[in-house]
Structure 1
C-alpha cells in the first residue's frame, strides 16, 4: 500500500486510541465533579479505569498468537472498537450521580476494550511498517493521539457545557464508529513463524530472556514512580480548577488547546534534546522541570493566587511533561530487547500506566485529607525519589558497554 495511505490510516487509528484516553483522564474527572460526585469517588474510579491499560500486557500475547488468514490484527481492532462503543452507548441516558455504580461497570468494560484496541493497533503498526518509515509515521500517529485526546478531553467538556453530557457521550460513540474503516485501509500482515506448540515454545523462550535482564527491572521501577508528580497533578487538575472557581468550559478549552499544544511542543523539543544531550541527562533535567512547576502550583495556591496563575503554571507543567515523556519513552526503547520489542515495551508502558493509577488514587486521598497543595508536593517528591534508579540505569549501561561480550 502507498505510504500516504498508511500514514493516514494509522493517524486515524491513533486518534481513535487518544479519544477514550482523553475522555477518561481529562474530561471525566471534571465532568463528575461538576455533577457533585465527591473527589474520592472520582479518583477511585479513574484509578480503576486505568487498570486495563496497566495489565494489557497480560493478554497482549493472545492478540499476537490468535491470528489466522480470517482473523488478524484488523479483526481484533474492529471487535474492540465495537465493544468500546457498545459500553458507552447506555451512558447517554444514565445520570452519573444517580447511577454511579453502573457508570463504573460500563466504563470499565469500555476501558478493557480500549486497551485491547491499543495492543492490536501497535501490533499492526510494528508488523506493517518498514523500519525506514517509522520515524515519519510515529510523528503522525502521535499527532493523531493528541488530536483524539484534545477532542474528547477538553473538547468534550466544551460540548457538555453547551449541549449536556448526553451529547458529549454520543459524540464519543460516533467518533469511535467513524474511525473503524481506518483499520481496513491497512493490509493485514502475513502470518509467519511457528504455530501451535512451536509458537508457544518461542514465546516462552523470549519471555525467559526478557525476564532475565537487569535493565528490565530497573526500568520498571523507574516507570512506576518517576511520573507520580505530574500524573497525580494531572488527575487532580480538573477538579482543582473547578474548586477554584474555573468554569467547566474554560477547563475544557485549557485541556483541549493549552495542554495539548504544550505537550506537543514539549514532546518535539524533548525528543530532539534527548538525542543531543543524552537520554539519561535529559530525563533527569526534564523530571526536575515538571517537579519545579508543580511545586510552584502548590505555592501559588497557598498564596491565594488567581485562577489565571494556576492555568499558566499548569501549562508550564504540561510543557515539561511533553519534554519528559519524549525522552523517557526513548529511554525505555533503548532498554528494550530488539527480539521481543513489542512485549517488553508494552511492559514498560504498563508500568507507566500503573504509575498513573496508583498516583491518581494516592493523590486523591491526599487532596481530600490534606488539601491540593500537600498532595502536589508529596507526589512531586515521589518523582524525585526515582532519580537513583536513573543512575542505576546509567551504571548498568556502562557496565554492558565495557563487557567483552558486548557487541
Structure 2
C-alpha cells in the first residue's frame, strides 16, 4: 500500500486519459471513415454515429450513482475492459452479412462504457491527487487525450489505408478495431498495477438519498436566472462545427465524380489526423490565452467567429477540388486551428457562467451533457442535409448555422469577474 501511495502520477495519468480518448474517437471519428470505406451512405453514417453520442449526453444523470462504488480503481479498469472487449467484437462483426446493425449496437456499448469511464477516471484523478498535483498534471490530461486522437486518426486510419491496398476494406478495418480493442485491454491490465486504489471519502449514501440529491441538483440547475437562454446558447454553439466534424471527413474520401476530394484513408489520416490535430491543440492553447487577456464577455463573440469562419475552407475545397495534398492540409489545419481556438469559449462559458453556484461540479457536468446534445443533433441531421443539398451548398448551410449563436451571444449577461458571474 505504501508503494502504491508513493507511485508517481506520471505512471498512470497519461495512460488514464489515453484510455479516455481512444474509445471516444473510435466512435466519433474512426467509425464514420470505416463505414464510408465500406460503402455506407452519408445520411446513415451521420444518423447512427450521431445517435450513439447520446451516451455522453446522459452520462451526468448516472454520475451520482457511481459515487456509491467505493473503489474508483475497480470502476476504471472494469469499463476499460468492457470497452476493449466491445471494440474487439466490432472487429469480429466486420465479417458478418448484417455487420452494420451489429457493429452499430456494439459501438453503442463502447460509447456507454466510455462515457461511464469518463466519470470514473475524472473521479479517480480528483480523489488521488492534491489540488497542486491536479493543476500540475492537467497538461498531461489534455496532451494524452489528444494523443488518442492522433493515434486513431493519424495512425490507425493511415494503417487502414495501407492495409486496404492488399486486402478487402472489411478485413483492413477489422484489424484496426482489433488493435484499438487490444490497446484498451492492455492499458486496463497495466492499470491493475499502476492506478492508485482511491476510496470514496464521502459517506456511503443510500440509493434513495443519492436520487433525492440528484433531483435537487437538477431543480437547482433549471432554476438559475437566465438558464434557458444559456442552454439555447450551449446547444447552438456547435451547430456548424458538429456538422463539419461529421461530413468533413466523408467529403475528403468522397469520389471526385461525386463532388469530393477522393482522398485515400492514408491521406485523410495525414491531413486530418496529424496536421489537423496539431493545429487544434495549438488553437486551444492560444484561445485560452486570448480569453484570459480580453475576459470572457469581450472575447466570446471573437471566439465564436474564430470557430466558424474557417469553415469557409470546406466551401473553397468543394468549389475548387484541389489535388495538391499540401493545399488540402493547409486548409484543414486552418479549420482545426479555428475550432480549437473558438471551442475554449464554450468551455469557459459553462465553467464561469452556468456552473457557478451550490452544485458547481454537478452543474458543470449537466452543462457538458447539454453541450454534447448540441453536437449529437447536428451530427444526426447533417447526412440528410448534405444528401439533399450537395457538398458546396451544404458547406454554405454550415456557415449560416453559426449565425444564431452569434446573435444570441449579444443577449447573454456575462461578468468578467469569475466569482460574481451569473447566467
The TM-score, its normalising length taken from structure 1, stands at: 0.89
Q: Where does residue 237 of structure 2 map in the other structure?
A: 226
Q: Which runs of 5+ in 1 are unaligned?
A: none
Q: Where does residue 138 of structure 2 map in the other structure?
A: 138
2:281 is equivalent to residue 270 of structure 1: no
* 1:327 shift after superposition: 3.1
Cα gap change, 1:390/1:155 in structure 2, threshold over 3 Å: closer, same or farther? same
Please, which of 185, 188, 198 is the counterpart of residue 198 of structure 2?
Answer: 188
Cα gap change, 1:193/1:201 in structure 2, threshold over 3 Å: closer, same or farther? farther
Q: Where does residue 74 of structure 2 map in the other structure?
A: 75
Q: Tell me the distance in 2 between the aligned counterparts of 1:109 and 1:389.
A: 36
Q: Where does residue 162 of structure 2 map in the other structure?
A: 162
Please, which of 398, 401, 411 is the counterpart of residue 392 of structure 1?
Answer: 411
Q: Tell me the distance in 2 between the aligned counterparts of 1:3 and 1:230.
A: 43
SS of the residue aligned with 2:104? helix
The superposition leaves residues 82-101 of structure 1 with CA deviations (integer Å, 9 ceiling, x where unpaired) of: 21122222222333794111
Q: Where does residue 87 of structure 2 map in the other structure?
A: 88
Q: Where does residue 125 of structure 1 map in the other structure?
A: 125
* 1:166 shift after superposition: 2.0
Structure 1 range deviating more: 388-397 or 369-378: 388-397
The superposition leaves residues 121-154 of structure 1 with CA deviations (integer Å, 9 ceiling, x where unpaired) of: 1222233333333333221101010001111233
Please, which of 30, 37, 40 is the counterpart of residue 37 of structure 1?
Answer: 40
Contact residue 210 and residue 337 of structure 1 kept, 8 A: no
* 1:397 shift after superposition: 7.6
Q: Where does residue 343 of structure 1 map in the other structure?
A: 362
Q: Where does residue 28 of structure 1 map in the other structure?
A: 31
Q: Where does residue 327 of structure 1 map in the other structure?
A: 345
Contact residue 32 and residue 97 of structure 1 kept, 8 A: no
Q: Which runs of 5+ in 2 are unaligned?
A: 164-171, 255-260
Structure 1 range deviating more: 169-178 or 85-94: 85-94
2:359 is equivalent to residue 352 of structure 1: no
Q: Tell me the distance in 1 between the aligned counterparts of 2:95 and 2:233.
A: 36
Contact residue 60 and residue 119 of structure 1 kept, 8 A: yes
SS of the residue aligned with 1:214? coil
Please, which of 286, 290, 299 is the counterpart of residue 303 of structure 2?
Answer: 286
- Tell me the number of residue pairs that the alignment of Structure 1 and Structure 2 aligns: 399
Counterparts in 2 of 1:233-244, with a 5 A limit?
A: 233-243=244-254, 244=261
2:181 is equivalent to residue 173 of structure 1: yes
Q: Tell me the distance in 1 between the aligned counterparts of 2:85 and 2:379.
A: 27
* 1:229 shift after superposition: 1.2
Contact residue 29 and residue 46 of structure 1 kept, 8 A: yes
Q: Tell me the distance in 2 between the aligned counterparts of 1:152 and 1:123.
A: 25
Contact residue 77 and residue 191 of structure 2 kept, 8 A: no
Contact residue 240 and residue 399 of structure 2 kept, 8 A: yes
* 1:259 shift after superposition: 1.5
Cα gap change, 1:307/1:282 in structure 2, threshold over 3 Å: closer, same or farther? farther
The TM-score, its normalising length taken from structure 2, stands at: 0.86
* 1:2 shift after superposition: 7.1
